[in-house]
Amino acid sequence: MRLPFIAANWKMFKTVHESVVFVKELRLLVKDVEEVEIVIAPPFTAIHAAAEAARNTNIGVAGQDVYWERDGAFTGEIAPGMIKEAGAEYVIIGHSERRRLFGETDAIVNRKVVAALAAGLTPIACIGETLEERERNETLAVLDRQIKDGFDQLTAEQMAELVVAYEPVWAIGTGRTATAAQAGEAHAHIRSRLRQWFGADAADRCHVIYGGSVKPDNIRELLVEPDVDGALVGGASLEVKSFADIVSRSRRAAV
Ligand code: PEP
């Protein structure tokens, strides 16, 4: 049974103070929402304070990235155990901005996913095609490669715990949302590959969420698609009422 899963990706926005103010407002706005999993991903610096502000609420906290080693001489990197200790339960891995701007490959995504799981974090692992790949009709082949290589060696049980975020790169931060039909097709494909490669139980339990210009006025039509289990929200998650609206509009009978 998959409850709708709604996550806020703040990217490189919000100070510690701003994050705490947001969480304090959000927890009032969503305090009665029981049937939606709610997660916010602040910058590393605000994870601890945001997690403290969210303690004993229905709001979880995520990191936006992580390194795969437990510790060592890796200046500037953050280990999975460090963000967990700071209060994160989830971590975004392989966001298209990490892939495009920082050269992350599927192999790197795989190392990070494995390390995050080993530390007891739930990865929110991002996949999705670029505009050029879509125009060349390569969308499904790109998704296959990202699933196969990015989730290589995971057990069925680990796959079941993962959150997979389908984020078509052309829809991120552009105001251009995939239509419900486009999202539905990609999500159904992802689910069928998970079933084929990890088994029915993993495919049924794994959340596959959509990301790309999600807003309060389009979340409902996306969630009507049976394989769309929620959303990873960038721009529209920076303003607390807009994010709370998306959360409230995601309520539905559990699927
Ligand atoms: C994202 O950054 O993951 C994202 C989906 O951004 P936006 O909602 O702004 O398109």
For residue 213, the ligand 1 atom closest to its alpha carbon is: 10
Give me the pLDDT at residue 175, please.
86
The residue from 48, 95, 187, 207 that is catalytic is 95
pLDDT (average), residues 123-145: 97
Q: Does 255 score more than 60 pLDDT? A: no
CA distance 80 to 63: 9
Which residue range is the domain that position 71 belongs to? 5-254
What is the pLDDT confidence band of residue 177, given thresholds at 50, 70 and 90? confident
94 within ligand 1 shell (Cβ under 6 A): no
| Residue 227 belongs to domain with CATH number | 3.20.20.70
- Residue whose token pair is 């969308």: 139
209 within ligand 1 shell (Cβ under 6 A): no
Q: Does 61 score more than 70 pLDDT? A: yes
The residue from 37, 129, 167, 225 that is catalytic is 167
CA 100 to centroid of ligand 1, rounded, Å: 14
- Report the domain count for the chain: 1
Mean pLDDT of the chain: 96
For residue 175, the ligand 1 atom closest to its alpha carbon is: 10
Share of the chain above pLDDT 70, in %: 98
Q: Does 22 score more than 60 pLDDT? A: yes
CA distance 169 to 174: 9
What is the pLDDT confidence band of residue 254, given thresholds at 50, 70 and 90? very low
pLDDT (average), residues 132-138: 95
CB 99 within 8 Å of CB 88? no
By most ligand atoms within 8 Å of CB, the mutation choice from 214, 239, 242, 246 for ligand 1 is 214
The interaxial angle of helices 240-249 and 16-29, nearest 10 deg, is 40
What is the pLDDT confidence band of residue 20, given thresholds at 50, 70 and 90? very high
